[in-house]
Amino acid sequence: MRLGVRAHDFGKLPVGELAGRIAREGFRCVQLAPPKAIAGFDAASTRLDAAAAGGVRAAFEAAGIQIAVLGCYINPVDPDPNRRGRQLAQFKEYVRRARDFGCGVVGTETGSLNADFSFHPGNRGEGAFQTLVGSVRELVGEAERCGVAVGIEGVERYVISDARRMKRLIDAIGSARLQVIFDPVNLLSAANYARQDDIIKESFELCGDRIAILHAKDFVVDAGGLRSVLAGKGRLNYGLVAELCRAGKSSADILMEDTNPATVAEGVRFLRSVFSI
């Protein structure tokens, strides 16, 4: 179990400077979305080839950091088949280059029937689920050919909104190359946060053996509903999360979210204390 961070929480910087800043905070792994984190890396124009990926890998490895997850957050249920196809093609390109980045997981959330990712009531339905199954099956097929994994992250407003639907997706795909990126805060809402312990327990009971990455942030409740904050600054039951990780002998990497250079040290101290790492 290693402690890491989203690279773009440190800004969009030249890759060597970015890796150095992250390493100085004591992190040893990152989630990297290159267009968000690396200066000069433009999603539309930068060629994602072995040389570019290898250069990024070398810069992070020189700082003692491994890229644990490549973030390629697409909408795999986009209602427009042409847009959906282009996004799946982009994700598969990341899958094909993952090893060049020194990475074994490419991650995405599960999207919405609204192209702008806003909540759509149909996200809860069977049609959206079956569209997602088709997309994920295509992505996992590419991952199997490349020897890497697809990491799926559940979000309460998207198609995979809870552990039961995640388990159903896992069973439908039937491949060990499908892994889970578990963010407990993402599964909570104003309607269910009081049941967070049950939601967290169910996630480990149904999907614990597939959790490859744990996203670490927190939440508070205000007039607008739930708001994400730095780990340790909110109401998430981190003691329960850590207990379930230990019980399952989890080796999942812990990747901090909702931090920045000014707050990161406080978050690191909290997570190292809770998880004894």
Domain spans, the chain: 3-275
The 10s digit of each residue's pLDDT in 186-221 is 999 999 999 999 999 999 999 999 999 999 999 999
Backbone φ and ψ for 225, nearest 5 degrees, come out as 110, -140
Q: Is the pLDDT of residue 46 over 80?
A: no
Structural contact between residues 255 and 231, judged by C-beta atoms closer than 8 angstroms: no
- In angstroms, the Cα distances linking 49 to 52, 55, 93, 254 are 5, 10, 9, 28
Return the closest-CA partner of residue 210 out of 174, 262, 158, 257.
174
**Residue range 18-38: mean pLDDT, rounded:** 96
**Residue range 34-61: mean pLDDT, rounded:** 86
Mean pLDDT of the chain: 95
Q: What is the DSSP letter of 140?
A: H
For 32, the token pair is 């990297």
The residues, any chain, with a CB within 8 Å of residue 31's CB and separated by 6 or more, are 4, 5, 6, 7, 67, 68, 69, 70, 71, 107, 213, 255
Q: Is the pLDDT of residue 40 over 90?
A: no
Residue 44's pLDDT is: 61
Structural contact between residues 34 and 56, judged by C-beta atoms closer than 8 angstroms: yes
Residue 45's pLDDT is: 56
Residue 224 banded pLDDT, cuts 50, 70, 90: confident
The 10s digit of each residue's pLDDT in 69-123 is 999 999 999 999 999 999 999 999 999 999 999 999 999 999 999 999 999 999 9
Residue 74's pLDDT is: 96
- Percentage above 90 pLDDT, the chain: 92
Beta bridge partners of 220: 227
* Per-residue three-class SS string for 218-267: EEEEECCEEEEECCCCCCCCHHHHHHHHHHCCCCCEEEECCCCCCCHHHH
Q: Is the pLDDT of residue 18 over 70?
A: yes
This prediction has a pTM of 0.96
Residue 249's pLDDT is: 76
Q: How many residues does the chain have?
A: 277
The hierarchical CATH code for the domain 3-275 is: 3.20.20.150
Q: Angle 135-104-178 (CA atoms, 0-180°, nearest 5)?
A: 35
- In angstroms, the Cα distances linking 191 to 183, 196, 230 are 17, 11, 22
Q: Which amino acid is at 207?
A: C
Q: What is the DSSP letter of 80?
A: S
Residue 48's pLDDT is: 81
**Residue range 252-272: mean pLDDT, rounded:** 95
